[in-house]
Amino acid sequence: MAGDRAMSADAAISVRGVTKTYAEGVSGTPALNGIDLDVQRGELTLLMGPSGSGKTTLLSIMGCILRPSEGFVTVAGRDVTKLDERKMPAVRLKHIGFVFQGFNLFPTLTAGENVELSLELKGAKKAHAKGEARRLLELVGVGEKYDELPRNLSGGQKQRVAVARAVAGSPDVILADEPTAALDLHSGRSVMEVLKELAREQQRAVVVVTHDNRILEYGDRIVRMEDGLIAES
């Protein structure tokens, strides 16, 4: 048993015995209750389950946005559980790219500038960031939208820009929270194809939280959660 719970050295993210209880000190059902999970590079993991099952909480903990009440999390082989609060943003910036349900693009910046911002936050020089942003937008199939503001893009295009932003700077892990929820079937599938391609061809670990059964075929691995536990993996 102890061997089963050992951290995986190859995993992009490794979660061991993670428990999360909100409103600590008050008795209540934990949102997560002893989760063990390894997310591998080159793999697209679908995290599924009913509302309240703990998917987003687990995603937030893997993304170093929330801290577990108990247990350990390693990101790219580094234990981040006890890391100083002030150092967490740097871990997120270097190792993790986020894709959100509502896209969360900066509405006053163009598609290109949204990606450039992410690159420059990671230390890229302006000239390099410009070229790289263009390349990434082309990679996700919206290269021609470089100078467009988000309000002029369709939902699918916005999410592709968000994916390009998430992948900017080559993070080890891409965490996507319901990336297809606000999209029609066609757009949703095209976004999933991009994520799948990124996982396979760029050897990134991609974790997608979803309710959407229509995208099951894109998962290399499906993890089902229920009541804060992994019910099936």
Partner 1 sequence: MPPLARRNLFHDKIRLLVTLNGIVFAVVLIVVELGLFTGFTTATSGVMDHSQADLWVAARSTPYVDQAVEFNERKFYQVLATPGVADAQKYIVRWTNWKQPDGKTESVEVVGLDPDKSFGLPWNVVEGDAQQLKQPHAVMVDEIYKKKLGVHGVGEWFEIRGHRAKVVGFTRGIRAFTTAPYVFTTFKNAQEFVQFDENQTNFVLVKAAAGVDLNGLKAELQRRLPDNDVYLTAEFAAKTKHYWMFTTGAGISVLMAAGLGLVVGIVVVTQTIYATTMDHIREFGTLKAMGAPNSYVYRVIITQATIAAVLGYAIALAVSLFVTLGGAKSGAPIQVGWELLVVMFFVTVAMCVLAAVVSIKKVMGLDPAMVFRG
Q: Which is nearer to partner 1, 111 or 192 (CB)?
A: 111
Interface with partner 1, residue 6, by CB under 8 A: no
Cβ proximity to partner 1: between 42 and 181 the closer is 181
Q: Give the separation between CA 30 and CA 23, rounded to whole angstroms.
A: 10
Q: Is 66 in the site for partner 1 (CB under 8 A)?
A: yes
Neighbour tally for 174: CB within 10 Å: 24
Q: Which of residues 23-62 bind partner 1 (CB under 8 A)?
A: 56, 59-60
Cβ at position 4, least distance to partner 1 in Å = 29
Least distance (Å) between residue 127 CB and partner 1: 13
Give yes or no for residue 89 binding partner 1 (CB under 8 A): yes
146 scored as a contact of partner 1 (CB under 8 A): no
Per CB under 8 A, the list member of 7, 17, 36, 65 interacting with partner 1 is 65
Q: Does 63 bind partner 1 (CB under 8 A)?
A: yes
Q: At what angle do helices 111-121 and 126-139 cross, to 10 degrees?
A: 120
**C-alpha span between 224 and 49 (Å, rounded):** 5
| Closer CB to partner 1, 72 or 100, in the complex | 100
- How far apart CA 170 and CA 83 sit, in angstroms, is 22
Chain positions 155 to 184 lying near partner 1, rule: CB under 8 A, are 177
Mask of contacts with partner 1, 103-142, x by CB under 8 A? -x-xxxx---xx-xxx-xx----x----------------
Size of the site for partner 1 (CB under 8 A): 32
Of 28 and 107, which has the nearer Cβ to partner 1?
107
Please state the closest distance from residue 5 (CB atom) to partner 1, in A. Answer: 26
Q: Which residues bind partner 1 (CB under 8 A)?
A: 56, 59-60, 63, 65-66, 88-94, 96, 98, 100-102, 104, 106-109, 113-114, 116-118, 120-121, 126, 177
